[in-house]
Structure 1
Amino acid sequence: MKRNIKIISLFVIAVVILVAAMLFVLNRRDYNRQTDLSEKKITGHIAKEDVDYKTVENKKIPVYKNIDKYLKKTKYNGSIVIYYKGKIMMNKGYGFQDFESGTKSSPNTMYLIGSAQKFATGLMLKKLETEGKVNINDPITKYLPWFKTSKPLYLKDFMLHRSGLKKYVATGQVHDIDGASRLLQKEGIQPGMYHKHLYNDGNYIVLTRVIEAVTKEPYAKYFNDNFAKPYELERTAFYNDSTFTPYMAQGYNEMKDFQKPKFLDQYYGAGNLYMAPKDLARLVIDLQQYKIFPEKVTNPLLYSVKTNEYPGDYRYGFYSDGPAHRINGVFFGQTVTSYFNKDYVVVMASNYQKSKAQNEKSLFHIYEKMLHQQPYLFKKAKPSPSLSPQ
């Protein structure tokens, strides 16, 4: 009898332990799911599983057929999208999204856009300006009281890359843009460079910190809620959004060595966003078509040069000489470049960096020689892409 009671007791204990374990697993799974969803609200928007960016070749129009032949002949590795008067004419991938796995490039492939992300940051800043939440002529200390330097700096100085701050060098001791911004403030202004053009990722990292201070939201959440979602950028995400990992290209150097991205947690606003070329093109087109800002804001932003508001070609993360425009980014073996005007928007992205200039050389050839458009020209002279700034 005692033996039976002992067996029953052990059985009951085992059942209790099993039920408790099951409840723990279920609760933990639910907790992880909620945590993941919470993080996605900050780091990215949830992908639509039924979205698929289809290949568009348009072989009936000779110029696009010739562009396809050119890219195949030159063994281009990456993706290209071409819009003409707002209509997609070509959207195609070439080579491999990942050499090691053999995954092929496609219109859905997302590339680390590097400095091209400054264009998105510029749009965010301009949006806050139009809403009266930011004044580009305000001192930086109005928004970041601790950002004190030897000479006064204004938001416009950061936007135009004329702050003169020492160039930002990422470090393993920093893990967010607040830390990066404080490091930039500590390093201060480089001697002799105050109010002189000095391209510096740090300028847009600081502007990103300003955006967060004004909106009281993480940069990624503000971008997703105000740009990625409303403008249906379905193949756009930040580096740490695992939902989009299957679409993210792996970057390689000229020897096809994998270039593992690092320090991306410091580059919000200046380099840690992945985009498919179609998404970047659509963002440009939405800007051109006054879907983001009204005409009175958009036209000066795109076409004014040598004015008080836009004294030089560079503004809000892109270049303009009036009729022609350029966006560019190079980061960890990946290059994204866009040329656009009132008729054409072309974006080419590559994850095989034969040289830092190769992607732009290919785009320059297509845009000028095949589409017969005038590209953006640095200082009104034909650029040597190898010397072109980001």
Structure 2
Amino acid sequence: MLNKIIVLLLSLSLVNCQNKPDKAKESTVKDIEGNVSEYAVNFSRLTTVYKKKTADDIEVFFNERFDPKNFSGSFLVAKNGEILFENYSGYAYKENNDSIKENTPLHIASVSKVITAVTILKLVDAKKIELDDYVKSILPEFPNEETTIRMLLNHRSGLRNYAYFTNDKGIWDKKQPLTNQDVLTLLASKNINLESKPGTRFSYCNTNYALLALIIEKVEKKSYPQVLQDMIFDPLGMKNTFVFDDLTKQDSISQSYKNNYFRLAFEYLDQVYGDKNIYSTPRDLLQFDLALYSDKFLSAAMKEEMFKGYSYEKKGIKNYGLGIRMVEFETGQKYFFHNGWWHGNTSSYVTLPKDSVTIIAISNKFTRKPYQTKRLAPIFGDYPFQFKTEEGE
């Protein structure tokens, strides 16, 4: 009888221990010096049992969907600021045998737009600009009178994509690197027609975010890379994140590849930033995502503006906020994300505030696998996706 009692007590002790929160990891935000940031957030600790079960499910998903032997990139899933699963594989620069590790910055493509948008919203919080200021009031060279900052953020400006109009005959010498200022000058001097009247419809356009970067520079009187360093990267301890803005240094950063590891050359569009050209890691992006839970980092009013849809002229569940994509289910549930694709770089950033979940996937060898991250959402909450079987859904 005594032995049975001892076994029972040991079993109860083990179960109790497994269900206690794991105190080994901190779920907070630290600045560049390693000090707890003013934007630190407090989440309830996850139990060991929950973490083990969820991590196992994510690992099964990753092995089935990402094919780790062929994936070149980084992948991370966290809840309540605690990393449940992460993976780093492949090469940042294969020709130099430079493998991808947890601190290896990769090109996050259009996920850069989320950071640009938040920077603009922080300037609004600081009362340096307003969302409905006319672009022309800040950039006098800009040719359209009706376009506002909000229209740039939610892709309702009606502008043409600079990647397309610079390809028109006589517009730009593609032997010369294009800059953000060049984009503005071309809009002003080359009679680049609007695709639609400002504010009337959604049309995703990189030009919007190239101009937002110029607005940031004009307001702060510093370069876009420096503003982001001072306002975002350093306060959030994003030590392995930077803006690439110098094509002469292209050999010092991670490279971009086709799916067969054929290296893709940099081109004249690769110096424009705001819409792209941020290099980062999943761990750094997790820090950024955690800061969004703090009203000190971004006010509740600005987050409300950011995480709401603006384009309802067509019926459907897909929409766009201020620098963030969303799926608005008929159940009322919302799924927030932003994908990216530039050359061989593909990326996905998923933030689920209701469930305090962050999912990040970045690849520098072309694949659509990062876009599969939405399949993980139902693990954490009621996200009623109807999944297709093909990879590039």
What TM-score, normalized to structure 1? 0.72
Unaligned runs of 5+ in 2: 1-31, 34-47, 167-173, 313-317
The structure 2 residue matched to 1:90, chosen from 64, 85, 88, is 85
Write out per-residue CA displacement over residues 216-244 of structure 1, whole angstroms, 9 at most, x where no aligned residue: 111111110111111110110122589x9
Of residues 117-126 and 194-203 in structure 1, the stretch that sits farther from structure 2 once superposed is 194-203
Counterpart amino acid of residue 52 in structure 2 = I
Aligned to 1:313: 319
Say which SS state the counterpart of residue 334 (structure 2) adopts.
coil
Aligned to 1:7: none
Aligned to 1:348: 361
In structure 2, C-alpha distance between the alignment counterparts of 1:159 and 1:112, rounded to whole Å: 21
Aligned to 2:208: 203
Say which SS state the counterpart of residue 313 (structure 1) adopts.
strand
Question: Which has more helix, going by share of residues?
Answer: 1
The structure 1 residue matched to 2:369, chosen from 351, 355, 358, is 358
Aligned to 1:166: 160
In structure 2, C-alpha distance between the alignment counterparts of 1:172 and 1:139, rounded to whole Å: 33
Alpha-carbon offset, residue 291 of structure 1: 4.1
In structure 1, C-alpha distance between the alignment counterparts of 2:254 and 2:132, rounded to whole Å: 39
Q: Structure 1 pair 83/372, CA: closer, same or farther in 2 (3 Å)?
A: closer
Does 2:91 align with 1:81? no
Alpha-carbon offset, residue 287 of structure 1: 0.6
Counterpart amino acid of residue 129 in structure 2 = V
Counterpart amino acid of residue 197 in structure 1 = F
In structure 2, C-alpha distance between the alignment counterparts of 1:188 and 1:103, rounded to whole Å: 42
Does 2:116 align with 1:121? yes
Does 2:107 align with 1:112? yes
Counterpart amino acid of residue 336 in structure 2 = H
The 5 A counterparts of 1:242-257 are 248-257=253-262
The 5 A counterparts of 1:138-217 are 138-149=133-144, 152-169=146-163, 171-185=174-188, 186-192=190-196, 194=198, 195-217=200-222
Aligned to 1:137: 132
Aligned to 1:18: none
Q: Structure 1 pair 384/223, CA: closer, same or farther in 2 (3 Å)?
A: farther
Alpha-carbon offset, residue 192 of structure 1: 4.2
Say which SS state the counterpart of residue 239 (structure 2) adopts.
coil
In structure 1, C-alpha distance between the alignment counterparts of 2:390 and 2:138, rounded to whole Å: 37
Counterpart amino acid of residue 321 in structure 2 = R
Alpha-carbon offset, residue 112 of structure 1: 0.5
Contact 1:231-1:283 at 8 Å conserved across structures: yes
In structure 2, C-alpha distance between the alignment counterparts of 1:385 and 1:168, rounded to whole Å: 31
In structure 1, C-alpha distance between the alignment counterparts of 2:223 and 2:142, rounded to whole Å: 19
Say which SS state the counterpart of residue 324 (structure 1) adopts.
strand
Counterpart amino acid of residue 242 in structure 2 = A
Greater C-alpha radius of gyration: 1
Aligned to 2:22: none
In structure 1, C-alpha distance between the alignment counterparts of 2:284 and 2:232, rounded to whole Å: 11
Q: Structure 1 pair 157/297, CA: closer, same or farther in 2 (3 Å)?
A: closer
Contact 1:163-1:189 at 8 Å conserved across structures: no
Alpha-carbon offset, residue 259 of structure 1: 1.7
The 5 A counterparts of 1:217-236 are 217-236=222-241
In structure 2, C-alpha distance between the alignment counterparts of 1:72 and 1:166, rounded to whole Å: 40
- Identity percentage over the alignment? 21
Say which SS state the counterpart of residue 326 (structure 1) adopts.
strand
Contact 1:159-1:203 at 8 Å conserved across structures: yes
Contact 1:165-1:184 at 8 Å conserved across structures: no
Say which SS state the counterpart of residue 219 (structure 2) adopts.
helix
Alpha-carbon offset, residue 265 of structure 1: 5.6
Write out per-residue CA displacement over residues 61-107 of structure 1, whole angstroms, 9 at most, x where no aligned residue: 13323433443452333211111112222232123333333333221
Q: Structure 1 pair 124/282, CA: closer, same or farther in 2 (3 Å)?
A: same
The structure 2 residue matched to 1:339, chosen from 316, 328, 350, is 350
Aligned to 1:289: 294
Contact 1:174-1:180 at 8 Å conserved across structures: no
Write out per-residue CA displacement over residues 5-34 of structure 1, whole angstroms, 9 at most, x where no aligned residue: xxxxxxxxxxxxxxxxxxxxxxxxxxxxxx
Counterpart amino acid of residue 325 in structure 1 = F
Contact 1:112-1:249 at 8 Å conserved across structures: yes
Aligned to 2:55: 64
Counterpart amino acid of residue 127 in structure 2 = G
Q: Structure 1 pair 331/191, CA: closer, same or farther in 2 (3 Å)?
A: closer
Say which SS state the counterpart of residue 288 (structure 1) adopts.
coil
Aligned to 1:19: none
Write out per-residue CA displacement over residues 259-282 of structure 1, whole angstroms, 9 at most, x where no aligned residue: 233335642211111000111122
In structure 1, C-alpha distance between the alignment counterparts of 2:265 and 2:389, rounded to whole Å: 28
Aligned-residue Cα RMSD (Å) equals 3.4
Unaligned runs of 5+ in 1: 1-46, 49-57
Alpha-carbon offset, residue 187 of structure 1: 4.2
Write out per-residue CA displacement over residues 112-157 of structure 1, whole angstroms, 9 at most, x where no aligned residue: 01111111110111011111111121221101112123x6222222
Say which SS state the counterpart of residue 273 (structure 2) adopts.
coil
Aligned to 2:4: none
